Amino acid sequence: MVLIDRYGRPLLKLRIVVNSECNFNCFFCHFEGQGRHVPTLTPDDIGFVADAAMKIGVMDFKLTGGEPLLRRDIVEIVRVLSLRRPKDLSLTTNGFLLGELAYRLREAGLMRLNVSLHSLKPERYAYITGTSPSVFHRVMDGLLKAKDAGFNAIKLNMVVTKVNVDEVDDLIDFAAKHGFSLQLIELMPVGYGEVGFEDNYVDLNTVVRHLAERGRFLGNRVDLHNRPIFNVNGVKVEVVKNYMNPNFCAGCTTIRLTSDGWLKTCLYKPPSIRVWDLIKNRDLEGLVKAFQKANELREPNFKYDSVKGHGSRRLVNIRVRLRVG
């Protein structure tokens, strides 16, 4: 059984925020992990949530944060989820601790990795991430160790801004050399990204045109935000436009679980449903109902509205501006 919301969108994926802490300070961070210390769910708690999610047809799980590798029990979290035999189990990381954990994560059953890599220039990387140039080399070492550990599906995440847009082709060539894929993400005006948004924003439509000239359009990823996908120099390149367009929401198939026990229908706006007590009390039926309720409350930022006197419809933005964190 797969749940369908009021707008015809299936619920297929659960994004699990395992912690709120991060050891980086990227200038565009949207604080998905809330940006403050909060109580966290245990590995067994997360496994229980997965049991409930799988009862309603959710078979894809993404671990994120904060920085998920900062959790000392992250390998156990992966193992607990892997034992449920999901269709997909992936994790997003800044890569700082990847060299230490890559082999253990692979052995525990992690299938895929998303690694943030916003520049190939150490000094620029340090500026973007609020770290030091030496961190860049550590992340690169972690990427290579992950490849050696047997991760065949490593995707690089690059948030494209005016600071690094000139490196898009370099990242594509780097990905081609190592057999990685690449995800180009448009800057979003939330969290730190809201400060100086106009000064840093790059419209990815210009990048899309460049990709179309350099490579081949493969289609849109209908299971996730209708992202356009290109093959460039043998590299699969996905383009993630920000939420300020109708396609982003029309293709949303995800609900988020926060580390302090809330189901969020959207990263960028309410409502959220408190499920901490349901999880701690192991109330499976109640948690399944909470998922069903959250799915009913899912609503895109854009929807069609009738135009009076014209018998036609127009897209209107129904989003309420909200700072995340």
Q: What are 115-124's pLDDT values in tens digits?
A: 999 999 999 9
Whether the Cβ atoms of residue 101 and residue 129 lie closer than 8 Å to each other: no
Provide the CB-side half-sphere exposure for 189 (13 A, CA).
Answer: 13
This prediction's pTM? 0.89
Whether the Cβ atoms of residue 120 and residue 167 lie closer than 8 Å to each other: yes
- pLDDT computed for residue 83 by the predictor: 99
- pLDDT computed for residue 324 by the predictor: 30
Distance CA 17, CA 272 (A): 14
- Bridge partners of residue 255, in order along the sequence: 14
Token pair, residue 192, equals 């730190």
**What single-letter amino acid sits at 205?**
N
**What single-letter amino acid sits at 31?**
F
- pLDDT computed for residue 143 by the predictor: 98
Run means of pLDDT, 10 residues per run, the chain, 325 residues = 92 96 89 63 99 98 97 98 98 98 99 98 98 98 98 97 98 98 90 72 95 95 79 96 68 92 88 97 99 94 51 42 29
Peptide bond into 66 cis (omega under 30): yes
Distance CA 231, CA 219 (A): 10
- pLDDT computed for residue 194 by the predictor: 62
- Bridge partners of residue 171, in order along the sequence: none
Distance CA 146, CA 20 (A): 24
Spell out the domains of the chain, with CATH numbers in brackets. Answer: 13-317 (3.20.20.70)
Distance CA 243, CA 189 (A): 9
In the numeric block, the tokens 């799988």 are attached to 54
Q: What are 203-238's pLDDT values in tens digits?
A: 999 999 999 999 999 998 876 667 899 999 999 999
- Which 8-state DSSP code applies to residue 192? G
